[in-house]
Structure 1
Amino acid sequence: MKTDFKFSNLLGTVYSQGNLLFSPDGTHLFSPVGNRVTVFNLVDNKSYTLPFSHRKNISRLGLTPQGNLLLSVDQDGQAILTSVPRRVVLYHFSFRSGITALSFSPSGRHFVVGIGRKLEVWHVPSTPDSNAEGDLEFAPFVRHHKHAGHFDEVRHIEWSSDSRFFLTASKDLTARIWSLNPEAGFVPTVLSGHRQGVVGAWFSKDQETIYTVSKDGAVFTWKYTTKPGQEDEMMDDDENWRIVERNYFMQNQTTLRCADFHPESNLLVAGFSNGLFGLYEMPDFNMIHTLSISQNDIDFVTINKSGEWLAFGASKLGQLLVWEWQSESYILKQQGHHDSMNALVYSPDGQRIVTAADDGKIKVWDIESGFCIVTFTEHTSGVTAAEFAKKGNVLFTSSLDGSIRAWDLIRYRNFRTFTAPERLSFSCMAVDPSGEIVAAGSVDSFDIHIWSVQTGQLLDRLAGHEGPVASLAFAPNGGLLVSGSWDRTARIWSIFSRTQTSEPLQLQADVLDIAFRPDSLQIAISTLDGQLTFWSVSEAEQVAGVDGRRDVSGGRKITDRRTAANVSGTKSFSTIRYSTDGSCLLAGGNSKYICLYSVTTMVLLKKFTVSVNLSLSGTQEFLNSKLLTEAGPAGLLDEQGEASDLEDRIDRSLPGSKRGDPSVRRKIAEVKVTGVAFSPSGTSFCAASTEGLLIYSLDNLVQFDPFDLNMEITPSSTLAVLQQEKDYLKALVMAFRLNEAGLIQRVFQATPYTEIPLVVEHFPSVYVARLLRYVAAQTEQSPHVEFCLLWIKALVDKHGAWLSANRGKVDVELRVVARAVSKMKDEIRRLADENVYMVDYLLGQQAEAEREKERVKGAEVKALEWDLGGADGKMIENGNGKSMKEILQADEVVSEEEEEWIGLE
């Protein structure tokens, strides 16, 4: 089995914090997700995550007007410059401090960052305005100049359309106008008058008007005016820009959180702390639309270039929305789990992933698009486990609310609910592969409850464990049920037999998880002491074991008083799963590592680091002593009561809503893996972590065809490769590259049938779909039945994993193949039926001819006997001294030879 899995995508989280960006054409939306950036294609309904990651959560994103360079900056001011078309990191840079605002000029030559209360203007790398000495070759980031004037941090930066001036809005209640380069008669201008911090400031389209919006909901309109008779005199610039109109958003008991302005259409959109947004037309301040889109604060809003789509981000619940205001419809509406995920499971076709979380929600994610397609909210408490029935249309989930629910994934509804006679919180669940039986275990009861899916009735309660049941697993062949408990035993139950006896397996520590090998012959058990033990199901004895404490331990949490190597909380695997072929075991736990073991050699094959995000607790091996204060670690200090704004100081959390000890103060989430699963094709696996669903894949690279670079591909060169070099693979790829039907058919039919498996095995994946479609067409048209079937068999054998992983892309081709094979089967059956009747007729004719011949010969012999022997039948001798009987026997031999000869004719 291949083990070179690489990170390919991040699902389950759509927005964390920071600003959102539309691409210049307005079709793509860039969203910061923790320390990564996810790009949503709003036209094709797909998403992908850029391959790089920061060491802290991203605070600001910036995109050049051409859309080719993305600048992402984390909380510490560490920046990464990325090429968007190639998805390649170009440069790392440090601003030495966290930035609060970032904006590129419309010309694409400069960008401005707000670092606290200071401003810095920088050259954009690789631009024509760089100096001739070639500084940019050695230092892509060159600072143009810096400004100081604000008394508090800068919140927003906006450029004029000609890239000569830019506006800044600050928490110091003012907005200021700056020039990029020294302008004759211009000095930086201060726009003051707001009573709370200014959220944003924008130029109008003609740059004669400025709009500023403050946190208290005030909208000021500024005009450039001069006093009569003083047009030619130099005046104080504060007198030039005057407030000509004041407007206010009338929203009770709320504050304005974000705003954006679209100069071309004069649209102003504002988001409030109660989850409401309003759309207004300037300068008359006419309200066009208001809508409540969230239950919490709207943290950021932006408008695309055409002014049609509005994008909103709400970090509290992890919501991302794109709204088309003219048609009043959602273009994109996504939300991740706002609580920790507990379980994940692949659908049997490998196209979807189902996640269950502590927020009581079950989400179904489409792997191809990266979007959540449906959310189930019927559970009233945390969902602890999820599992599919074998056919893949029914999903079962267990919850702490005391119910097991069955979901129909065709109609998206809950069609069956299973409950116990007494109130229990179910912590684990297993489903029989046939989908007829569902079993669940609880930490409140030591029994295992079993229900019938058809009737919904409780069939049995299996007693035997002396501690809470932690894990359940049915054998893939459906014969046995294995349960693991905190009483340090695992039991094998034969629930379909009359006795229902259980075979206890004694372990050294509490059981955390159990996994069945796909062939149902072996089980793997993870225990609290970090051991992985492998047991033979038929013999009920341990066959192997792995000590995983050293492999899984790593990462020191802020609250740990011991080093990462000595702390005990991370030294066990809470979730384990076998690979599709049963040769490897994937294990994860409350640490930053996922381990992949070989089942045959018991060797650690690879360790995957879940996250390098220092904003999470448990990603560092060594803690920085300067962050340790007299009151404890600085990351755990509650600074909410010291915030500068009143609404930030208020604690709005409900009493009793926090789990665990209410005196424990937690600000930083801990990195951990709560679930792992291999895809049915075996080409990827998924891990449910603190940051979301991490997908690691073997085939995440862009498909590359080396023949695309060759300019000498012609029909004559293709035939030369086919006839002279006998390189059938190269000739076939060249024929597909030229895309000439006659040439493809000639190369296809010239390939010897013995070479078909070898040619298909090395055939580039980029052409597999086209070859599959062509072979299917040939199967329907060509008389070479067996030849075409050999091609289809080789394609399925050699590229089956790729076909199943890309089912959505090749679905049409697979249907064409299925139709061609079905049509061929029907034709062969009809031909065979016709031939059966013809063969029966010919055999019947031969039997009739033999019976007639026997009848004629018998009559002749009888007549001869009467003539020679008389009525009494006496035999006489002839002149040669032979009896008539001997003569007749001799004639009989001759006649038999003649009959054989006639038969051969």
Structure 2
Amino acid sequence: MKTDFHFSNLLGTVYSRGNLLFSPDGTCLFSPVGNRVTVFDLVNSKSYTLPFAHRRSIARLALNPRGNLLLSVDEDGRAILTNVPRRIALYHFSFKQEVTALAFAPSGRHFAAAIGRQIEVWHTPSTPDVADGDLEFAPFVRHRVYTGHFDIVRSIEWSSDSRFFLTASKDLTARIWSLDPEEGFVPTTIGGHRQAVVGAWFSKDQETIFTISKDGAVFVWKYMLRPDAPEDVDEEDDEYSQWRISERHYFMQNNAHVTCAAFHAESGLLVTGFSSGTFMIHELPDFSQIQNLSISQNDIDFVTINKTGEWLAFGASKLGQLLVWEWQSESYVLKQQGHFDSMNTIAYSPEGQRIVTASDDGKIKVWDVNSGFCIVTFTEHISGVTACEFAKRGNVLFTASLDGSVRAWDLIRYRNFRTFTAPTRLSFSSLAVDPSGEVVCAGSIDSFDIHIWSVQTGQLLDRLSGHEGPVSSLSFAPDASTLASGSWDHTVRLWNIFARTQTSEPLQLMADVLCVAFRPDSKQIAVTTLDGQLTFWSVSEASQQSGVDARRDVSGGRKISDRRTAANAAGTKSFTTVKYSADGTCVLAGGNSKYICLYDCESGVLAKKFTVSVNLSLDGTQEFLNSKLLTEGGPRDLIDSQGEASDLEDRIDRTLPGAQKGEGARKTRPQVRVPAVGFSPTGRAFCAASTEGLLIYSLDTLFQFDPFDLDITVTPATTMATLAQKEYLKALVMAFRLNERSLIRRVYESIPPSDIPLVVKDVPAVYLARLLRFIAIQADESPHLEFNLMWIEALLSKHGRWMKDNRAAMESELRVVEKAVKRIQSELARLADENIYRIEYLLAQPVEKKEEVLKLDFGVAGDGNDVDAIMDEDDEEGEGEWMGF
């Protein structure tokens, strides 16, 4: 099995903190999610996460006007310059302090960064595709430092000609600066607000300045004569002119204050977000209100407007909400929200297209793997959801919760169609579903029995007794013959629940059992225990086959309060979740640490170790203590400095003493952990629920040259020459040896449909898996629908018996093909359903009317002769052929 999985995407978290950015064309939205950046393609409804990661959570983002350079800065002031089209980190740089505002000039030659009370302007690093030079050796060159503010600068806004910029600060003032010294220009301070200035902007003609403060006051500034100027002085005389307030407007939002604002100069739109979760749209300079809507229950942290002024993006960090609102049509372009609390469990759908996450906040979310968006959220559970599992067909989902219920969900109609409860009030912590979908089992931490219900009737069928401690994990064998249950009483029991006598076979272990998983062939189980051991047991013989001491592997990352290094604290860690790969050769394990481990089952060797997060904003990610952060009162991060905040709302402590979960819990430093992992059914990817979100690792993410069985005579030129000689099989094999997808596609699409069975018949067995996977991907990507299906049919008919005999090696490829064929089938069925009435209407028309309809609907050009020919053919061969046309 391949083990070179790489980070592919981050789901489950859509916005953490910081500012949002629209791309220059207004179709993509950049959102900071922890220490990574996710890009939402709003037109194609897709999202992807850039591969780089910061050392701490990202605080500020800025995109150059061309949209090819992204500058992201974390809480400590460390910046990463990224090439967006190539998704490559170009340069790392440190501003040495926290950056509170960041903006590129419209010319793209400079960018300004607010560092505390100062503003620093830097030259934009040039790229090789810029006409004025090559890539620099030292990309970050500072232009100037501007001082004058007495408090933190909150926003920077450039003028359209890039000669001036405006800054708004918490010292109640805004200032106008020039990039370079201008003749007759003096840096100007404009003050008059009674609270911190949230934003300041130039109008389109740059004759007016708009400022807005935290208390909801909007001032309109114009360059006009001073009151003490002589009457005969010209208005354009700079000696007697100054920036003065011409109009004052107020929002009057009672106790709510302004948290963010954005201005669109071309249309004059001012969008303002408030601490009450409402936002307002006004038109300046008239200050006429256009909209007033409530979109959140908490503060709106950031708002931005795209280039055309049609879409507004809002971010609310407390609940992790991200919204894109089209104000003219009053509709959502994007509405996403992550889990409020940490995830407990995940489940891959059998076809691998969806991932379900369940959390302590009682919500169940279904995520689409391809688009990265949440499809539906179920909120019927009133307490934390602890386990979820799909039925074999994939249209039914089962969840267990601490509220004492097990629920069944219909994923076609998106509704809860069955609820299972026990005779007494219990909190269910584990779940297992019979592969046939007829029986569901649940275990509890309150009772030592296993409850079994019928899915059809909802009745409690039986209670299995035998465990002497809480049941922590349940798992059904894929062949539906055996149920395995793990408990805190140091035993794993194997039940045959469909037999007449429901006897159980106990397997004795040395510590509390945390997780049990069946191998896909149902012949082996993997068990993790509290003492850090991972053991493998034979189901038929009820004996241990092998084991791994995983305490050293899972340990890593120390908390702030730890007195020992991560290596010396190895005895305190263990795996809490384990899953087999699709072919059963490897297991994936995770726990309360920052590592996910991939083991080879047969040898017990650690094949690969994945680091979930390097974000130092989380607890448990660092390996060594930093002595600079140690004070007389203990580690600096453990000292509560909330009472020293300058703003009243930041000083108020609404957390509950000792609360670990829920709304009153402290969210300052969550601990990094991996409560659940899962392999995709295809075996090409796996996902892990972590503190930062749902991480997806895949084999199909990197664009790299990975040749296979290469020869010195095999080159792209010789491959194309072989193809020109119509030696199709040889050319296809040479393309697969080079393993360049574009070359394989050219050869593949050049083979005539009539020759497909002949080529497939003689394909060497070593290339079958690669060819099958390639065709499945082409079926998803290319428009040649029938051509791809002909290849799949030829492969399965010619080599079906060989694939059946080697099913273990071909399992993932066959699942990918099955997924592609099912998708084609569903799309064709949907297309036919949508157009059935139009086709029936066309067929019901007389011949003369058909000619007119064809001209209108299919755009047939000419004088009608083509249509006559088509109709003649239709009359000869029947209506079915005409429908095909």
Q: Settle same-fold status: TM greater than 0.5.
A: yes
Question: What does 1:562-641 correspond to in 2, within 5 Å?
Answer: 562-567=564-569, 570-641=572-643
Q: Which amino acid aligns with 1:241?
A: W
Question: What does 1:201-240 correspond to in 2, within 5 Å?
Answer: 201-226=200-225, 227=229, 228-231=231-234, 240=242
Question: What does 1:261-340 correspond to in 2, within 5 Å?
Answer: 261-340=263-342
More displaced 10-residue stretch of structure 1: 732-741 or 433-442: 732-741
Q: Provide the residue aligned with 1:681 in structure 2.
A: 682
* 1:839-881 deviation digits (Å, cap 9, x = unpaired): xxxxxxxxxxxxxxxxxxxxxxxxxxxxxxxxxxxxxxxxxxx
Q: Provide the residue aligned with 2:75 in structure 1.
A: 75
How far off its partner does 1:241 sit? Answer: 0.4
SS at match of 2:201: strand
Question: What does 1:444-455 correspond to in 2, within 5 Å?
Answer: 444-455=446-457
- The yes-or-no answer on 1:719 pairing with 2:717 is no
* 1:165-214 deviation digits (Å, cap 9, x = unpaired): 00000011000000011100001000100111101000000000000011
Q: Provide the residue aligned with 1:54 in structure 2.
A: 54
Q: Provide the residue aligned with 1:843 in structure 2.
A: none
Given that 2:341 and 2:661 are in contact with CA atoms closer than 8 Å, whether structure 1 keeps it comes out as no
Q: Which amino acid aligns with 2:183?
A: A
Distance 1:74 1:805, change over 3 A: farther
User: Paired residues, what number?
Assistant: 811
Q: Provide the residue aligned with 1:753 in structure 2.
A: 761
Given that 2:26 and 2:306 are in contact with CA atoms closer than 8 Å, whether structure 1 keeps it comes out as yes
Q: Which amino acid aligns with 1:681?
A: T
| Alignment partners' CA distance in 1, 2:431 and 2:131 | 67
Q: Provide the residue aligned with 2:141 in structure 1.
A: 142
How far off its partner does 1:570 sit? Answer: 4.8
SS at match of 2:351: coil
Q: Provide the residue aligned with 1:435 in structure 2.
A: 437
How far off its partner does 1:580 sit? Answer: 1.0
More displaced 10-residue stretch of structure 1: 804-813 or 63-72: 804-813
Q: Provide the residue aligned with 1:174 in structure 2.
A: 173
Distance 1:739 1:351, change over 3 A: closer
Q: Provide the residue aligned with 1:672 in structure 2.
A: 673
Q: Provide the residue aligned with 1:116 in structure 2.
A: 116
* 1:503-559 deviation digits (Å, cap 9, x = unpaired): 221111111111111111111111100011111111212121110001110100012
Distance 1:352 1:58, change over 3 A: same
How far off its partner does 1:30 sit? Answer: 0.2
Given that 1:379 and 1:401 are in contact with CA atoms closer than 8 Å, whether structure 2 keeps it comes out as yes
How far off its partner does 1:97 sit? Answer: 1.1
Given that 1:260 and 1:269 are in contact with CA atoms closer than 8 Å, whether structure 2 keeps it comes out as yes
SS at match of 1:82: strand
Question: What does 1:276-675 correspond to in 2, within 5 Å?
Answer: 276-567=278-569, 570-653=572-655, 658-659=660-661, 667-675=668-676
Q: Which amino acid aligns with 1:26?
A: G
Gaps of 5+ in 2: 708-713, 737-741, 830-885
Given that 1:83 and 1:89 are in contact with CA atoms closer than 8 Å, whether structure 2 keeps it comes out as yes
What TM-score comes out, normalization by structure 2 length? Answer: 0.85
SS at match of 2:136: helix
Q: Provide the residue aligned with 1:2 in structure 2.
A: 2
Given that 1:116 and 1:153 are in contact with CA atoms closer than 8 Å, whether structure 2 keeps it comes out as yes
Q: Which amino acid aligns with 1:507?
A: L
| Alignment partners' CA distance in 2, 1:447 and 1:510 | 17
How far off its partner does 1:726 sit? Answer: 5.1
Distance 1:736 1:497, change over 3 A: closer
How far off its partner does 1:776 sit? Answer: 7.9
| Alignment partners' CA distance in 1, 2:69 and 2:788 | 49
| Alignment partners' CA distance in 2, 1:138 and 1:785 | 56
Q: Which amino acid aligns with 1:97?
A: Q
How far off its partner does 1:710 sit? Answer: 9.5
Given that 1:109 and 1:129 are in contact with CA atoms closer than 8 Å, whether structure 2 keeps it comes out as no
- The yes-or-no answer on 1:790 pairing with 2:794 is no
Q: Which amino acid aligns with 2:746?
A: R
Q: Which amino acid aligns with 1:213?
A: I
| Alignment partners' CA distance in 1, 2:171 and 2:744 | 69
Given that 2:722 and 2:730 are in contact with CA atoms closer than 8 Å, whether structure 1 keeps it comes out as no
Q: Provide the residue aligned with 1:697 in structure 2.
A: 698
Given that 1:136 and 1:142 are in contact with CA atoms closer than 8 Å, whether structure 2 keeps it comes out as no
Distance 1:572 1:657, change over 3 A: closer
| Alignment partners' CA distance in 1, 2:785 and 2:179 | 64
Distance 1:793 1:538, change over 3 A: closer
SS at match of 2:443: strand
Distance 1:751 1:715, change over 3 A: same
Q: Provide the residue aligned with 1:102 in structure 2.
A: 102
Q: Provide the residue aligned with 2:30 in structure 1.
A: 30
| Alignment partners' CA distance in 1, 2:639 and 2:117 | 25
| Alignment partners' CA distance in 1, 2:545 and 2:716 | 59
| Alignment partners' CA distance in 1, 2:801 and 2:603 | 33
- The yes-or-no answer on 1:185 pairing with 2:184 is yes
How far off its partner does 1:41 sit? Answer: 0.3
* 1:364-413 deviation digits (Å, cap 9, x = unpaired): 00000000000000000000000011111111100010110000111000
Percent sequence identity over aligned pairs? 67
Distance 1:554 1:816, change over 3 A: closer
SS at match of 1:38: strand
Given that 1:721 and 1:728 are in contact with CA atoms closer than 8 Å, whether structure 2 keeps it comes out as no
Given that 1:703 and 1:766 are in contact with CA atoms closer than 8 Å, whether structure 2 keeps it comes out as no
| Alignment partners' CA distance in 2, 1:221 and 1:816 | 55
SS at match of 1:790: helix
Given that 1:713 and 1:738 are in contact with CA atoms closer than 8 Å, whether structure 2 keeps it comes out as no
Distance 1:51 1:406, change over 3 A: same
Equivalent residue for 2:746, pick from 730, 737, 741: 737
Given that 2:474 and 2:485 are in contact with CA atoms closer than 8 Å, whether structure 1 keeps it comes out as yes
| Alignment partners' CA distance in 2, 1:282 and 1:412 | 44
What TM-score comes out, normalization by structure 1 length? Answer: 0.83
| Alignment partners' CA distance in 2, 1:193 and 1:508 | 72
Q: Provide the residue aligned with 1:249 in structure 2.
A: 251
Higher Cα radius of gyration: 1
SS at match of 1:137: coil
How far off its partner does 1:332 sit? Answer: 0.2
Q: Which amino acid aligns with 1:65?
A: P
| Alignment partners' CA distance in 1, 2:167 and 2:112 | 10
| Alignment partners' CA distance in 2, 1:365 and 1:781 | 32
| Alignment partners' CA distance in 2, 1:554 and 1:583 | 26
| Alignment partners' CA distance in 2, 1:601 and 1:738 | 41
Distance 1:33 1:569, change over 3 A: farther
| Alignment partners' CA distance in 1, 2:452 and 2:502 | 12
Given that 2:775 and 2:788 are in contact with CA atoms closer than 8 Å, whether structure 1 keeps it comes out as no
Q: Provide the residue aligned with 2:834 in structure 1.
A: none
Distance 1:125 1:799, change over 3 A: farther
Distance 1:337 1:570, change over 3 A: farther
Q: Provide the residue aligned with 2:872 in structure 1.
A: none
Considering only aligned residues, what root-mean-square deviation do their CA atoms show, in Å? 3.4
Given that 2:582 and 2:812 are in contact with CA atoms closer than 8 Å, whether structure 1 keeps it comes out as no
| Alignment partners' CA distance in 2, 1:501 and 1:735 | 56
How far off its partner does 1:579 sit? Answer: 0.9
How far off its partner does 1:360 sit? Answer: 0.3
| Alignment partners' CA distance in 1, 2:272 and 2:11 | 29
Q: Provide the residue aligned with 2:66 in structure 1.
A: 66
Given that 1:775 and 1:788 are in contact with CA atoms closer than 8 Å, whether structure 2 keeps it comes out as no
Gaps of 5+ in 1: 819-905
| Alignment partners' CA distance in 1, 2:299 and 2:730 | 68
